[in-house]
């Protein structure tokens, strides 16, 4: 038996999804992605982006993540990948990274620590527009919200009138951690789009 290299075999492979792994909660996302049937690659340098059919930007500290992206010269390669329509899920600090002031791929401005610092860590059952199967268990940890957005951004969920989940094309940004609640539907959403994503373009 030849040793199977899943990245080069002709077999219909599971979608290859990257997780930005410079800092923060990338490991929990990788576990959920594997659970829903993705091949996972941790992304630390631009070469790691080749052939990805989807990407997760995890929570963490957006300032540290921004420094890491600059250090590894990942900003333009990430913008190029997302600009090609490769589906993305950004969670918490990942939502911040997607906004106008960071990667600039989503027409919105995130407000960091918008619920207050430590005391406003909380859980909620959130109704997400378009997501079947009832409310999603969402864990907010020093979470941002979307302070302002353009027409292309579709708000999917809000708390007290503040958007905490939104979509722009194939980009899904959520202010909370769904990778910690055992509810895998957002990762399944990403995987379904990743499976349709043709990397040969």
Q: Which residues are catalytic?
A: 92, 177, 179
Among 29, 102, 142, 193, binds ligand GLN (CB under 6 A): 142
Q: What is the CA radius of gyration of the chain?
A: 16
Among 32, 141, 146, 173, binds ligand GLN (CB under 6 A): 141
Burial class (CB in 10 A: 0-12, 13-18, 19+), 44: middle
Stretch that binds ligand GLN, among 13-21, 88-96, 123-131, 179-187 (CB under 6 A): 88-96
Reduced to 3 states (helix: H, G, I; strand: E, B; else coil), residue 188 is helix
Beta strand ranges found along the chain (DSSP E)? 16-20, 39-43, 54-57, 88-91, 108-111, 122-126, 136-140, 145-149, 154-159, 162-168, 171-174
Reduced to 3 states (helix: H, G, I; strand: E, B; else coil), residue 57 is strand
Q: Closest separation between CB of residue 112 and ligand GLN, Å?
A: 4
DSSP code for 3: P
Q: In this complex, which beta carbon is closest to ligand GLN, that of residue 16 or of residue 146?
A: 146
Which are the contacts of 56, defined by CB distance < 8 A and separation ≥ 6?
A: 17, 18, 19, 20, 26, 29, 33, 88, 89, 90, 91, 94, 187, 190
Q: Applying CB under 6 A, what is the total number of residues that bind ligand GLN?
A: 11
Stretch that binds ligand GLN, among 4-12, 69-77, 89-97, 154-162 (CB under 6 A): 89-97
Binding of ligand GLN at residue 93 (CB under 6 A)? Answer: yes
Among 113, 158, 181, 199, binds ligand GLN (CB under 6 A): 113
Among 17, 20, 81, 96, binds ligand GLN (CB under 6 A): 96
Binding of ligand GLN at residue 17 (CB under 6 A)? Answer: no
- Identify whether the C-beta of residue 61 lies closer than 8 Å to the C-beta of residue 25: no
Stretch that binds ligand GLN, among 5-13, 91-99, 155-163, 187-195 (CB under 6 A): 91-99
Q: For binding to ligand GLN (CB under 6 A), which residues are involved?
A: 59-62, 92-93, 96, 112-113, 141-142
């Amino acid at each position: 038996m030849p040793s199977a290299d899943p990245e080069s075999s002709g077999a219909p492979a599971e979608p290859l999804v990257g997780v930005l792994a410079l800092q923060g909660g990338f490991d929990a996302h990788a576990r959920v992605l594997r659970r829903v049937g993705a091949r996972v690659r941790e992304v630390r340098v631009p070469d790691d982006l080749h052939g990805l059919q989807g990407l997760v930007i995890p929570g963490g500290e957006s300032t540290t993540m921004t420094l890491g992206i600059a250090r590894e010269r990942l900003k333009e390669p990430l913008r190029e990948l997302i600009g090609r329509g490769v589906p993305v899920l950004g969670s918490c600090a990942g939502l911040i990274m997607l906004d106008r002031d960071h990667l600039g791929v989503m027409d919105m401005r995130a407000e960091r620590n918008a619920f207050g610092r430590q005391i406003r860590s909380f859980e909620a059952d959130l109704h997400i527009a378009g997501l079947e199967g009832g409310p999603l268990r969402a864990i907010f940890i020093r979470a941002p919200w979307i302070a302002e957005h353009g027409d292309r951004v579709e708000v999917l969920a809000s708390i007290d009138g503040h958007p905490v989940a939104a979509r722009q094309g194939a980009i899904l940004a959520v202010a909370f951690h769904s990778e910690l609640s055992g509810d895998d539907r957002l990762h399944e959403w990403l995987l379904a789009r990743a499976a349709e994503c043709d990397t040969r373009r």
